[in-house]
Amino acid sequence: MGDAGAQGEFGQAALAHLDRLYAFAHALARNRQAAEDLVQETYLRALRSRRRPGPDENLRGWLFTILHNVWRNEVRRRRPESLDAHPEWAAALVAKGPAAGEAVEGQRTAVRLAAFVDALPEHLREVMVLRFGEGFSYQRIAEILGCPAGTVMSRLARGRALVRQAFGSWNGHGPREEGR
Amino acid sequence: MTGCEGARALVPAYVDGELVGEDLRAFESHLAGCPGCREALHAETAMAEDLGRSLAAPTAPPELRRRVADSIGAAERRRSWWWPAAAAAVVAAAGWVAVARPLPARPASELVSVAVDSHLRYARGQLPLEVRSDRAEEVSAFFAGRVPFHVVLPDYPAPLGEPKPYALEGGRLVAMRGDYAAYVAYRMDGQPISLLVTSSSLATPAGGELVRSGALTFHLESQAGLNVITWTDNGLTYALASDVSVEGARSCLVCHGSREERRKIDGFGPRT
């Protein structure tokens, strides 16, 4: 079990989004175990669903919507917040950062930005992750979160403003606060 | 958009690819002649790129990937198992008996089209049932004398320890080639499943992916986004339409390749 040959076309297509779903789950739950539970439950729901996205629909958006619904309606309610003390992705960010030149500053900025977004209130954190981490459109984010597109836009504006407030304006090479 | 103030307000939407139409044209026109706004755009773009890079992690732990992959594999096999099994179950206990008609048989494509059309109309609430009941004998009685074959719908035996996978909803007549076919509606996990039955003298299965189960050969194909299985047995031809995913022959064999598992399918096979 578990090999690609045992999975159908839908299963393989859905599995391709695992990393991104996990990243979103982690952004919501901020806890590795909770994120894993959330992702696993998302796939179970998707697999049990008899209505699956058609060829013209967005499978990734559909999976993100399921994940967010599970989070909002079930997991968040029953799970007291427990933050990972040392998120493993912080180390991963440094390890995967640019290789030379401005690498060190770039990595430092990335880690600080990730930590900053991670510390935002959930309603801002989720739109920031869906827009900048996943590249979803405003409309798709609104569908995933079940809110008006205008709400997405105002939350993104607020998130951006907070980032600028904390890091200063970017000068094309990084935030000015970084001293370049 | 008015001047730099208006343009600056549109910078985030432009970076996000959300600016369209006249706003987009006006913004780009302003940008072409305004170094200050171009600088603001570069700064916004750089911030968005840095945010994108920073939020690219983490990746899923290998153990989670393995568990999810296992779940998918198991679910896909369960899902594909029920389709032919459910189809065969209908045949197994149905007791449909053909009454020979001296008409030339046609390929099943017409049956498939009628089944798909009927299914879609039923799913949209545009095909009212003439008999609505979850009792097999009541639905069977409706067809008596109305179609040129005898209908005894089965009471599907649920596997030991498992809930009944689908429920009968009712039936109606559907016109086909100047006669009537029997349309039977089921529901599985809230989704409709349509079974259309006609005489093999009017239609025979053809094409699609072949799945042999017991003594039956199922033809699997997709039409209008639906999965359709057709098969013939005891002088009748059946078409089962649903949007339930079917993985084809491989899926059945994954679950029922062993002698032990094959018995489960054979148990749904035709009466001898």
Residue-level pLDDT at A175: 75
Fill in the amino acid letter for B217.
T
Q: A18 vs B65: CB contact, 8 Å cut-off?
A: yes
For chain A, which residues score pLDDT lower than 70?
1-8, 50-51, 54-57, 75-106, 172-174, 176-180
The HSE-up count of residue B232 (CA atoms within 13 Å, CB side) is 18
- How far apart are the C-alpha atoms of B14 and B234, rounded to whole Å? 66
Interface contact B72, partner A, CB < 8 A = yes
Q: A110 vs B54: CB contact, 8 Å cut-off?
A: yes
The proportion of chain B whose per-residue pLDDT surpasses 70, expressed as a percent, equals 71
Where are the extended beta strands (E) located within chain A?
none
Give B100-141 pLDDT, tens digit per residue. 343 344 445 778 888 888 888 888 887 888 889 888 888 888
What residues form DSSP beta bridges with B271? none
Q: A50 vs B189: CB contact, 8 Å cut-off?
A: yes
Q: A15 vs B46: CB contact, 8 Å cut-off?
A: no
Q: What is the residue whose two structure tokens read 């096999």? A: B77
Q: B51 vs A88: CB contact, 8 Å cut-off?
A: no
> Smallest CA–CA separation between B221 and chain A, in Å?
15
- Strand order from edge to edge, sheet including B216-223: B131-132, B167-176, B179-188, B191-199, B236-242, B226-233, B216-223, B209-213
Give B134-166 pLDDT, tens digit per residue. 888 888 888 888 888 887 777 655 555 556 667
Choose the mutation target among A21, A22, A117 for the interface with B, i.e. most B CBs under 10 Å.
Answer: A22
Choose the mutation target among B16, B68, B244 for the interface with A, i.e. most A CBs under 10 Å.
Answer: B68
pTM comes to: 0.55
Structure-model confidence comparison of residues B65 and A177, the more confident one:
B65
- Residue B188 confidence (pLDDT) above 60: yes
Fill in the amino acid letter for A139.
Q
ipTM: 0.81
Spatial contact of A46 and A104, defined as CB atoms under 8 Å apart: no
Interface contact B54, partner A, CB < 8 A = yes
Spatial contact of A143 and A135, defined as CB atoms under 8 Å apart: no
Q: How many CB atoms lie within 10 A of CB B153?
A: 26
What residues form DSSP beta bridges with B203? B106
Q: Are strands B203-204 and B106-107 parallel, antiparallel or unpaired?
A: parallel
Fill in the amino acid letter for B257.
G
